[in-house]
Amino acid sequence: MGYEPLVNQNPLRVLNMGRNNKQMGLVMARAGLGKTALLVQIALNSILRGERVIHISVGESIEKTKMWYDDILQFILQDAVVDNPHELIDMVQRHRMIMTFKESAFSRARLEERLNDLILQDIFKPNCLVIDGFDFEDVSRESLEDVKDLLDSMNLQAWFSAVSHRGDDRVSPAGVPAPCHEVDDLFDTVILLKPEKDFIQLDIIRNSGDSNEDGAVLTLDPSTMMVRKQG
């Protein structure tokens, strides 16, 4: 069953996802503003396009991550007409794998080992990784370049989340705050979540190296954490 209508209606289509597998995306915000919700919606958009996603949760449980998918899927089903919702839910479960790491255990070597275990045994071959909770505070540029090299070699797209802090005013020339201000050039797409009075704005700093082609303004609804298109 095709889900093209859901893909075409998704506001996240402006992010040019799927145009190039070998790209890295970054979602940044202060704690509690919706980074995980946005990453889950990015993952679901990839799945609806027929891709397979591994959601890597650093420092969180499988159960908590799964709850995000269950909640977001229910909002999608409320907003859209889907003939057989259970088929959609089953399809998402088949095309998504949740993988957890302890914060101290995440590294290129460990990630490569676990991915190869899945791929070489023909258990699960992903097109996209979502890496939620990656520690940008202590990572060196060389270590991140090493992870990027692994993703390129495996032809994988990846999306990372990072926490910014109100008291840290360091920022890159492109406007990307610490702790990613010295590595933001490694990312093809960068999105900052900024709280406004009634919504959370998605400030698209970079979009696959391009500008926001249709000028769309995207927001997160704080009550549902769903992405909406303004105007």
Residue 1 has pLDDT above 60, yes or no: no
User: Secondary structure of the chain in the HEC alphabet?
Assistant: CCCHHHHHHCHHHHHCCCCCCCCEEEEEECCCCCHHHHHHHHHHHHHHCCCCEEEEEECCCHHHHHHHHHHHHHHHHHHCCCCCHHHHHHHHHHHEEEEEECHHHCCHHHHHHHHHHHHHCCCCCCCEEEEECCCCCCCCHHHHHHHHHHHHHCCCEEEEEEECCCCCCCECCCCCECCCCCCHHHCCEEEEEEECCCCEEEEEEEECCECCCCCCEEEECCCCCCEEEEC
Closest CA to 114 of 93, 138, 131, 91: 131
The domain of 56 spans 4-230
Encode burial over 165-203: b for 16+ CB neighbours within 10 A, e otherwise.
Answer: eeeeeeebeeebbbbbbebbebbbbbbbbbeeeebbbbe
> Strand 217-220 vs strand 53-58: parallel, antiparallel, or unpaired?
unpaired
**Rg of the Cα trace of the chain?**
17
What is the pLDDT, as a whole number, of residue 13? 85
Confidence of residue 3 (pLDDT cuts 50, 70, 90): confident
Q: What is the pLDDT of residue 183?
A: 96
Residue-wise pLDDT for 58-107, tens only, equals: 999 999 999 999 999 999 998 888 888 999 999 999 999 999 999 888 89
* Alpha carbon distance 56, 6 (integer Å): 24
Q: What is the CATH number of the domain that holds 159?
A: 3.40.50.300
Residue 8 phi/psi, 5-degree rounding, is -70, -30
Q: pLDDT tens for residues 185-228? A: 999 999 999 999 899 999 999 887 665 555 668 999 999 999 99
Amino acid at 61: S
Q: Is the dihedral of CA 115, 4, 159, 221 positive or negative?
A: negative
In DSSP terms, 128 is beta-bridged to: 53, 157
- What local confidence, expressed as pLDDT, does residue 229 receive? 85
State how many domains the chain has: 1
pLDDT at 180 over 60: yes
pLDDT band at 6, cuts 50/70/90?
confident
Q: What is the pLDDT of residue 217?
A: 84
| Tokens 């907003």, residue located | 79
Q: What is the pLDDT of residues 116-145, one digit of tens each?
A: 999 999 999 999 999 999 999 988 999 999
